[in-house]
């Protein structure tokens, strides 16, 4: 009988399946430089806050900016639909779980107000920090001019899956290369998860890509539509596209791993997989300063016909400063994320993130060992 | 020492082990064409309802048919053994769990009545929809003529494992190529799970194959006899057989993944693995309209000596229309299955199912990440 | 830097990791011949009962023998140390769990009585069935002559790990080839788990090998000393040795998978991996007729310094006949094991065990699918 | 499109993923020689006790030394910061779990007292056994001279990750080759986990390496910073470095697997992976004689900004002698570790540890089989 050729299935790795190999050189953690650059802008910390309504408010953007990171405000969420967004957030925090999806579907149908778009940008600028805002590809042409005019410093164009070649029946699609030429600020685009798409996006002239489809704690895209690439492999692919793009064009496009990161170990693994920075949702939703009041949900949650995610209780772990810079009194990796990153760089001997990207990874599934199980069962 | 050659063990993949890679092009979901063709008949939705007594009644067949799918009535189950099948279904729904296997074994020994075979077909036709019925290979010669004469539009010949070459001591076996010539309707045969068997079945001239041995929620074939191929690999193999058959003969035989599908993600993965359509049991048993009253069981359950399955409580999730077409208020992928299929096709840039079959799959075991576990534990 | 060569680690498979591929031909189950041959003796069923005190009593040996299988009585257990072995078994069944290991260690230090060795053999022969007995390599020379003289028909020499080349300081070791020449009955030896050892054992002229180190439900050898090969790979290796031995010498040595088998699916997988028969412990301990009164333990349990196993409650599932031949009212594969074997042979189209050994295996980890989990959670 | 080269991810194995293949020869366990050599010193047992405050007190060092092993006292822990270390240990044992990390952080900031360094060494020597002490690389120059002068017989230089090339801004780093020349006792260094680092460390002239980053039950380094190599692979790599070093230089450097070992099976697997000895923490913390009073914690636990571990309740299993030499009344592998090692050597036919290192390993994930699950659920 002939030997048929069957469809091939490549291996993709997630955070829990890999570990970082220690280096042949070690350095003191305080020698490590962890700065992130997007376009011409440099950030002291390689950390963005997700454009989620429960994570980023204008005030939160000020607090994170002053610590050295960058918060992204969602211009299509509650903050631009409601004057009193905080009141609406309170309503969502108090809704019974079995009614919350319907409530989401209703609340997110209120119209986006142009005046609120501008006002939210101004509120962030008034905090004395750089302002980043996010829009979906469909609404980019409509909303982004007002935001940039109001002073936005970074524009994020984001959908669950974004490519440079979107086909649509009804309208002429967004041409990213045109957008980049029109606005005078760095443009970050996502999400993508493969080499081919990242490469095409970078060829449009953008300044950063968001990597990650389906991995977030507040997202069920993989369950609902089956689509998703685990974050380690997605980051490796997009980082390879960045390196190829840089070698070919001399332009360095930042790779930002977005989704599914909860611990310092996952921040570190993202970098070793090739990221220049990370975008965090749940860890920031757990900050005292977060607007979500101990809850979080993803941007695909309010979909009127096919919601892909729900409200999850994330609790409150500490102040934003403790979560990022410590000191930590928790030992599970969820606090002092930047201290963890520096400690990791010490162990692998990396003076900056670019060197950290060269460290080794091993496939070592974190099946909880008997020892760990023991620990968890016996009174940790 | 000589190096012995040991038996080889190939890798087979199940739904939970793979994810769909996003495409380099995206399209608007409403542009996606999801029609299914079996022989000359086209269906608006690529969905069949399993020939299970708790899933398909004549009335249910009407309801699904009007939405665009195709329900298959089991001609060897309760509906052709009992005039008052609904009363018997009520009895089964109320039996205590520890007595239900014995009750199954007893109820399914009542004789199949010729008059009921014809009447059930007529009842379905009276609903104004196409009628599909299933028989086992052993009883095909005896039962199928009456069904076709009464107006059945599609004939399904189904057993746990079916091949084109069955050997039997007592009687001359069913010759599928003869059957196809005798009946004037499309013939769907199954179940199979490998390239070689699918190829031989297609060479008999049939119009569709059912793919899946052992994966259903209501089936314990793999536990009891050890036989089974996980659905992704089974579908990949049978789709390769279809493509080979089409290239060689010009006849296109539909591949229908049958068993183990519960979410939109699994519908999508089936198609990416190569299916043209899916057959659903449990998701339809969860419809308000299902005759099983919140329960389901497989066709191997009533076996008098070796029952392979039992009654499971599946509950009720929503109307048939909500389950298929939404809108959904659940976020776990079990409602709006066709909306999920369209959303997936948008993300991979597929204008029809045939294009969706070309999308990429990655091996990415869905070990619940800490984030997801967190979500489940903390009050989702 | 030079590339060092690291120790290689080959893949080994267990029952839960594989599934049997359906065949290209199917047959009617009743056409399948499931007989087992050990030396010149043929058994109607390919099933041995483990030489465990809670499984095989002389009476149980009669009951199993009359059904067509072969029970092996442990000549170094309670039955040859105590006149009233049943009373001792009752004491063990009633001991509190935290004292049972100490009780085992004490009870198994009573001396083995020569008169009881002969008497137990005679009791089995009085049941009108063939008699098989087991001894350890250390005591083979001392105990086996009396057993054979009393009428034993099959001699089993069994230890946790047995090789043809045992080194011992204190005494001249057992030479298997001498033993085979001395006794006039088939000799079965084990346990082994690799090609090399099985080959050397077969070259000694023995008639059967027991395959399996560490897998049994009542055994913790793998936890305690780290040694063990999962049963599918162990069986595949030993079956390859058998086939090589047969091709070279014309002698057919039976391969018997021993340990870890609880369901019909596992019986079937053992055969497809290459076994000629299986040895069952826990499934028989669950028979109404078993002497263990709903409990079981392994032969390494009473070790005075390093016990590797303990008493486990196995419960009672049905009569020996129901467990072997059905009918079953359970759907988890633990009853009608021979019916399951025949059903499997039907699905793969095997007329005898030798043909069943040629069926295909796939690596398909039985991570309980969401569907199955659902089934288990929702009221199966 | 070009085919990009993606970052490679090698496979690394942990204890639970491998099993030891039985040998082609077996020997009597009592013939096995299990001695360990570090430099010129020979130990009857290949076992070190971890430099953890809850494991090794001066008195415990005496007890372990008299049995044939070697305890390592942490010179930077509570024993050299507090006169009444036992009182402080009692305080830690009684602290509520949610306050213990803060308490650790406070207690471990007390200064290390030179007088206590010398006194603890003298206390161990007064027990009539060899004395081993541990220091971190940063404090080696400051503390180790006093310890060696007071009579320490083995010097352990240990940090989470240690390399031969540490870079530091503020001070001239520790040069291991100088240290080895200065002190007149064997020097053991760690922890490392890769071939390259082990090779460089050995080239410094040291006498032993500790292998293991992140695996211990009391350590969360992998969660917090993502760094870690599972112990089987780490040991295989470092053992390969040892063999290369020995072949090249004629010097034999002992490889000591440190962390994550709880059972006899794990001791055996460490050796088969290539270790000459093991360092145990939790198993000794469970001894009646351990100073931790049923608790344990790692050396990274008290970190003031980034604690990586916490206090875990380990309970008390038996006397130190029972844990090491038996007899055991437990059947889970946690007692009679040396008996288990000898039993394993019997099964693989190894007369000494060097031969045991040549045994085979298979990849056989210890997914608890249904049988085992059954055992656990049903009243073991």
> How many angstroms separate the CA atoms of C130 and C43, rounded?
10
Question: Cα B88 to the chain's mean position, in Å?
Answer: 24
Q: Which chains touch A (3 or more CB pairs under 8 A)?
A: B, D
Residue B373 CB contacts under 8 Å (≥ 6 apart), including other chains: none
| Strand partners of residue D36 | D43
- Which chain D positions have a beta carbon within 8 Å of C2's beta carbon? 244
The answer to whether B70 and B154 have CB atoms below 8 angstroms apart is yes
Q: Look at B331 and A312 and tell me if their CB atoms are within 8 Å.
A: no
Least confidently predicted of C28-37, C346-355, D100-109: D100-109
Range with lowest mean pLDDT among A35-39, A244-248, D165-169, D313-317 = D165-169
CB contact under 8 A, B166 and C27: yes
Per the CB < 8 A criterion, the answer to whether C174 and C158 are in contact is: no
Number of DSSP helices (H) and strands (E) in chain A, helices first? 15, 17
One pLDDT digit (tens) per residue for chain B, 380 residues: 567 889 999 999 999 999 999 999 999 999 999 999 999 999 999 999 999 999 999 999 999 999 999 999 999 999 999 999 999 999 999 999 888 988 998 999 999 999 999 999 999 999 999 999 999 999 999 999 999 999 999 999 999 999 998 877 666 778 999 999 999 999 999 999 999 999 999 999 999 999 999 787 667 788 899 999 999 999 999 999 999 999 999 999 999 999 999 999 999 999 999 999 999 999 999 999 999 999 999 888 888 788 887 888 999 999 999 999 999 888 888 999 999 999 999 999 999 999 999 999 999 986 544 334 333 333 33
| pLDDT-derived band at C64, boundaries 50, 70, 90 | very high
Strands D36-38 and A277-280: unpaired
* Residues belonging to chain B: 380
Residue A245: pLDDT band by 50, 70, 90 thresholds? very high
Pairs of residues, one from chain B and one from chain C, whose beta carbons lie less than 8 Å apart: 212
Query: What residues contact residue D258 under an 8 Å CB cut-off, 6+ apart?
Result: D48, D50, D190, D191, D210, D211, D212, D278, D279
Q: Give pLDDT, residue C378.
A: 35
Q: Contact at 8 Å (CB) between A150 and A118?
A: yes
pLDDT at residue A170 in the model: 62
Quote the pLDDT of residue C119.
Answer: 97
Residues of B in contact with C237 (CB under 8 A): 4, 6
Count Cβ atoms below 10 Å from residue C112 Cβ, excluding itself: 17
**Res A41: pLDDT:** 98
Find chain B residues with C-beta within 8 A of C328's C-beta. Answer: 305-307
Q: CA of A283: which chain B residue's CA is closest? A: B371
Q: Closest CB to D22: pick one of C197, C220, C314.
A: C197
C331 contact residues in B (CB cutoff 8 A): 101, 220, 224, 301, 307-310
- D70-74 and D47-49 beta bridge pairing: parallel
| Best A14, A21, A232 residue to mutate vs chain D (most D CBs within 10 Å) | A21
**DSSP summary character for residue B151:** T
Residue numbers in B near A97 (CB within 8 A): 379-380
Nearest chain D residue to A15 by CA distance is: D226
DSSP B229: B
CB contact under 8 A, B379 and A97: yes
Say yes or no for a CB contact (<8 Å) between A365 and B367.
yes
Query: Are the Cβ atoms of A332 and D224 closer than 8 angstroms?
Result: yes
Q: Which residues of chain D have pLDDT under 70?
A: 1-2, 169-171, 217-218, 366-380
Q: What is the largest CA-CA distance in chain B?
A: 73
Q: Which residues of D touch C163 (CB under 8 A)?
A: 22-26, 349
Please tell me the predicted confidence (pLDDT) of residue B289. 97
Count other Cβ atoms within 10 Å, centred on residue A37: 17
Q: What pLDDT is attached to residue A139?
A: 93
Nearest CB partner across the interface for B16, out of C18, C369, C374: C369
pLDDT at A372 over 70: no
Cα B290 from Cα B295, distance rounded (Å): 9
Query: Looking at A219, A238, A268, A344, which residue is catalytic?
Result: A219
Closest chain C residue to D25 measured between Cα atoms? C165
Instruction: Residue B196: list chain C partners with CB under 8 A.
Output: 24
The mean-pLDDT minimum among A168-172, A343-347, B246-250, B316-320 falls in A168-172
Name the residue among A297, A299, A324 with its Cα closest to residue A313.
Answer: A297
Please, which residues bridge with residue A255 across strands? A209
User: Helices in D109-171 by DSSP H: which ranges?
Assistant: 114-126, 137-149
CB-CB contact of D356 with D272 (8 Å): yes
* A167 pLDDT higher than 80: no
Secondary structure element (H or E) that encloses residue A229, with its range: none
Q: What is the pLDDT of residue A202?
A: 98
**Is the pLDDT score of A176 beyond 90?**
yes
Cβ separation C308–D331 shorter than 8 A: yes
D79-88 CB burial, b ≥16 within 10 A, e <16: bbbbeebeeb
CA of A267 to nearest chain B CA: how many angstroms apart?
14
Q: Chain A interface, mutation test: which of B22, B31, B241, B322, most A Cβ atoms within 10 Å?
A: B22
3-state DSSP call for residue B351? Answer: coil
CB contact at 8 A, B212 and B189: no
Note the ipTM here: 0.92
**CB spacing of C227 vs D339 below 8 angstroms:** no
Assess contact for D237 and C3: CB atoms under 8 A: no
Residue B225 · residue C269 · CB < 8 Å = no
Instruction: Report helix, strand or coil for A28.
Output: coil
Name every chain C residue with its beta carbon within 8 A of the beta carbon of B315: 378
C231–chain B nearest CA distance, Å: 14
H or E segment at A38?
strand A36-38
Nearest to C306 among D267, D339, D375 (CB): D339
Domains of chain B and CATH, by start: 15-362 (3.20.20.70)
A306:B329 CB<8 A: no
pLDDT tens digits, A192-230: 999 999 999 999 999 999 999 978 766 778 889 999 999
Q: Is the per-residue pLDDT at A276 higher than 80? A: yes
Tokens of residue D373, six digits: 């699950």
Query: Over 80: is that where the pLDDT of C45 sits?
Result: yes
Predicted pLDDT at C73? 98
- The pLDDT value given to residue B171: 63
Query: Which residue is listed with tokens 């870890």?
Result: C260
Q: Which of A10, A169, A315 sits opposite B28 (nearest CB)?
A: A169
Contact across the interface for C226 and D265, Cβ inside 8 Å: yes
Q: B197: distance to nearest CA of chain C, Å? A: 5
**Angle subtended by helix axes D264-273 and D337-348, to nearest 10:** 50
Are C306 and D329 a contacting pair at CB < 8 A?
no
Q: Give the pLDDT of residue A318.
A: 94
> Residue C303's beta-bridge partner residues?
none
The pLDDT mean for chain A works out to: 91
Top residue of D14, D21, D25, D30 to mutate, by most chain C CBs within 10 Å, is D21
Helix/strand/coil for C337: helix
Contact B226 C19 (CB under 8 A): yes
| pLDDT over 50 at C270, yes or no | yes
| Residue A177: per-residue pLDDT | 95
Mutate to test the interface with B, among C232, C317, C362, C374 (most CBs of B within 10 A): C362
pTM: predicted TM-score of the whole model, two decimal places: 0.94
């Amino acid at each position: 009988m002939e030997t048929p050729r069957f469809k091939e299935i490549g291996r993709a790795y997630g955070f829990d399946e890999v570990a970082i190999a220690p280096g042949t050189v070690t350095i003191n953690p305080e020698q490590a430089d962890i700065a992130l650059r997007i376009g011409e802008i440099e950030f002291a910390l390689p950390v963005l806050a997700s454009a989620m309504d429960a994570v980023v408010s204008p005030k939160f953007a000020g607090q994170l900016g002053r610590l050295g990171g960058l918060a992204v405000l969602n211009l299509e969420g509650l903050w631009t639909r409601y004057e009193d967004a905080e009141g609406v957030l309170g309503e969502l925090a108090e809704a019974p779980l079995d009614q919350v999806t319907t409530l989401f579907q209703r609340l997110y149908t209120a119209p986006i107000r142009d005046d609120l778009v501008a006002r939210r940008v101004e509120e962030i600028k008034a905090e004395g920090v750089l302002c980043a805002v996010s829009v979906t590809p469909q609404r980019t042409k409509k909303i982004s001019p007002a935001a940039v005019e109001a002073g936005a410093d970074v524009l994020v164009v984001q959908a669950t899956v974004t490519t440079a070649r979107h086909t649509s029946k009804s309208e002429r699609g967004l041409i990213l290369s045109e957008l980049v030429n029109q606005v005078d600020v760095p443009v970050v685009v996502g999400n993508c998860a493969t080499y081919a798409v990242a490469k095409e996006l970078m060829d449009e002239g953008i300044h950063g890509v968001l990597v990650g489809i389906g991995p977030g704690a507040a997202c069920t895209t993989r369950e609902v539509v089956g689509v998703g690439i685990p974050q380690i492999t997605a980051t490796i692919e997009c980082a390879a596209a960045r390196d190829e793009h840089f070698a070919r064009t001399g332009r360095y496009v930042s790779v930002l791993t977005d989704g599914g990161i909860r611990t310092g170990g996952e921040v570190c693994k993202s970098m070793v997989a090739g990221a220049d920075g990370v975008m965090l949702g749940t860890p920031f939703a757990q900050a005292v300063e977060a607007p979500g009041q101990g809850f979080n949900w993803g941007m695909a949650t309010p979909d009127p016909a096919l919601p892909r995610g729900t409200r999850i209780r994330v609790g409150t772990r500490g102040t934003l400063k403790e979560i990022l810079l410590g000191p930590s009194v928790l030992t599970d990796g969820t606090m002092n994320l930047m201290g963890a990153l520096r400690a990791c760089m010490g162990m692998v001997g990396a003076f900056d993130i670019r060197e950290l990207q060269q460290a080794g990874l091993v496939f070592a599934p974190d099946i909880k060992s008997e020892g760990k199980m023991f620990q968890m069962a016996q009174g940790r």
